[in-house]
Amino acid sequence: MSDDAATQANQTLTVRDNRTGNEYEIAIADGTIKAADLAQIRTSEEEPGLATYDPGFVNTASCKSAVTFIDGDKGILEYRGYPIEQLAEKSNFLEVAYLLIHGELPSKQQYDSWVHEITYHTFVHENVKGFMQGFRYDAHPMGMLMASVGALSTFYPESGNISDPDNRHIQIVRMIAKMPTLGAWAFRHAQGKPYIYPDNELGYTANFLSMLFKMSEQRFEADERLVKALDVLFILHADHEQNASTNAVRSVGSTQVDPYSAVAAGVGALFGPLHGGANEAVLRMLRRIGSKENIPSFIEGVKNGNERLMGFGHRVYKNYDPRAKIIKQAAMDVFEVTGTNPLLDIALELEKIALEDEYFVKRKLYPNVDFYSGLIYEAFQFPPEMFTVLFAIGRTPGWLAQWLELVQDKEQKIARPKQIYTGPRTLDFTPAAQRWA
């Protein structure tokens, strides 16, 4: 809606500046006002116009996006309009990746060609292997992943040509294809085991498991139920609209840099414990509780504010996180293969008690995606440092779909927030020799 049409339809906000007595009419569209419209509100020509202060973007939309929809109150998550429950049950990770990137589901021919392309780009240049081998024996796999994704930009210098659709496409294919190779090699590195090359006869997730766990056998064929469970976990993590790492990808991508550099920034953001690390904290918590008998006293401690029930609560979801429900089922499927984890019983009992307790009900605290995912990863025998790498592999199509949307969005500009300057001004500089004399 144009600003004039907004005025006619009463879709406006009237602001009275009490400093001057002036009134302004500002258009409302999609439940937002344009921050730039506030700049006309000023006390004099010399003063800068009014701006908003919003650390952490808690009430600021940074873009328009058609990738992912979330209704946190109702517990709804949709990729390109399709409910996450249906995708997890009936689709697979590569089809979901296609959907996120292209905006619609593939035809048979499109799907086959997508899978073929991804499969045949799983190998990395041999020098990437040498580069990764140069890391210290105890390097964190997320640090290795971040550096090696960024390094890919030097192997594909043409990736900087982001205005060419064919070029964008091939870099997207390469990144989705190579992420499991890099993630698996980072895992093998920490274990001092040889890096395993991709097996292109296997599907995406089965090949990833092969690169992680294969030793001397001809072919590593993981149990189908485990392959399916990990594939579902990748689907659940594939996008989550404007979270911290996606915002990092968009922010760096807004400089028009190549997509490898933008995604490396996303991996860096995901590395932070406030973003990718909560499932590890859940495992630590369950271990500390130790047995079901200790749950009531633990819950009392949470209610008294001594600690948090990790894996519960969410900034956006004020209802059961739809991903948590699916993960709970996937955990059961995995434990059928691997044998149960005694921590599962504690988790189930904890959830039951918390969901009935007034403290949690009143605050709308429900299990989130991290409550059960760590238990599954542990059943696969992943060390905690790998949990975030798995998240990054799953999130790669989402980061790339958002990047693609960004670079084609005519309204986007280089991300460059304002600041409120609080430091000193116009000091006189005295040269060091005089200051130290």
By CB under 6 A, residue 254 contacts ligand CMC: no
d(CA 57, CA 49) in angstroms, rounded, equals: 20
- Spatial contact of 202 and 210, defined as CB atoms under 8 Å apart: yes
CA dihedral sign of residues 279, 97, 405, 71: negative
Neighbours of 279 (CB within 10 A): 26
Of 19, 34, 74, 315, the residue at the interface with ligand CMC (CB under 6 A) is: 315
Using the rule CB under 6 A, give the single segment among 13-21, 84-92, 186-194, 307-315 that binds ligand CMC. Answer: 307-315
Looking at residue 77, what DSSP letter applies?
Answer: E
Per-residue x/- mask for ligand CMC, residues 195 to 234, rule CB under 6 A?
Answer: ----------------------------------------
Of 199, 239, 280, 370, the residue at the interface with ligand CMC (CB under 6 A) is: 370
By CB under 6 A, residue 310 contacts ligand CMC: yes
Nearest approach in angstroms of CB 405 to ligand CMC is 20
Tokens representing 135?
Answer: 């890391």
d(CA 129, CA 134) in angstroms, rounded, equals: 9
Q: 231 vs 370, which CB is nearer to ligand CMC?
A: 370
314 labelled catalytic: yes
Of the candidates 231, 258, 314, 321, the residue annotated as catalytic is: 314
Nearest approach in angstroms of CB 281 to ligand CMC is 7
Of 173, 232, 309, 346, the residue at the interface with ligand CMC (CB under 6 A) is: 309
d(CA 404, CA 320) in angstroms, rounded, equals: 31
By CB under 6 A, residue 363 contacts ligand CMC: yes
Using the rule CB under 6 A, give the single segment among 34-42, 82-90, 157-165, 303-311 that binds ligand CMC. Answer: 303-311
Helix spans in 277-341 (H): 278-289, 295-303, 322-338
Do β-strands 82-83 and 76-79 pair in parallel, antiparallel, or remain unpaired? antiparallel
Residue nearest to ligand CMC (CB): 313
By CB under 6 A, residue 314 contacts ligand CMC: yes
Residue found under tokens 């659709």: 165
Of the candidates 275, 333, 357, 409, the residue annotated as catalytic is: 275
**DSSP H or E stretch at residue 190:** helix 165-191
By CB under 6 A, residue 308 contacts ligand CMC: yes
By CB under 6 A, residue 269 contacts ligand CMC: no
Buried b (16+ CB within 10 A) or exposed e, 365-401: bbbbbbbbbbbbbbbbebeebbbbbbbbbbbbbbbbb
Looking at residue 107, what DSSP letter applies?
Answer: P
Q: Is 285 exposed, middle or buried (0-12, 13-18, 19+ CB in 10 A)?
A: buried
Q: 306 vs 419, which CB is nearer to ligand CMC?
A: 306
Residues in contact with ligand CMC, counted by CB under 6 A, come to a total of 16
CA dihedral sign of residues 396, 392, 254, 316: positive
- Spatial contact of 66 and 405, defined as CB atoms under 8 Å apart: yes
Q: 226 vs 343, which CB is nearer to ligand CMC?
A: 343
Using the rule CB under 6 A, give the single segment among 13-21, 66-74, 89-97, 360-368 that binds ligand CMC. Answer: 360-368
By CB under 6 A, residue 246 contacts ligand CMC: no
275 labelled catalytic: yes
Tokens representing 136?
Answer: 């210290």
CA atoms within 13 A on the CB side of 34: 13
Nearest approach in angstroms of CB 264 to ligand CMC is 19
By CB under 6 A, residue 395 contacts ligand CMC: no
- Spatial contact of 104 and 80, defined as CB atoms under 8 Å apart: yes
Q: 188 vs 240, which CB is nearer to ligand CMC?
A: 240
Do β-strands 82-83 and 12-17 pair in parallel, antiparallel, or remain unpaired? unpaired
By CB under 6 A, residue 312 contacts ligand CMC: yes
By CB under 6 A, residue 238 contacts ligand CMC: no
Nearest approach in angstroms of CB 78 to ligand CMC is 15
Contacts 24+ apart (CB under 8 A), 7-11: none
Of 75, 141, 259, 313, the residue at the interface with ligand CMC (CB under 6 A) is: 313
Looking at residue 144, what DSSP letter applies?
Answer: H
Sites for ligand CMC among residues 82-121 (CB under 6 A): none
231 labelled catalytic: no
Using the rule CB under 6 A, give the single segment among 91-99, 133-141, 313-321, 415-423 that binds ligand CMC. Answer: 313-321
* Residue 71: closest CA among 318, 367, 313, 311: 318
Nearest approach in angstroms of CB 431 to ligand CMC is 48
Of 278, 350, 375, 379, the residue at the interface with ligand CMC (CB under 6 A) is: 278
Please report, as ranges, the residues that interact with ligand CMC according to CB under 6 A: 243, 278, 302, 308-315, 363, 365, 368-370
Active-site residue set? 275, 314, 370
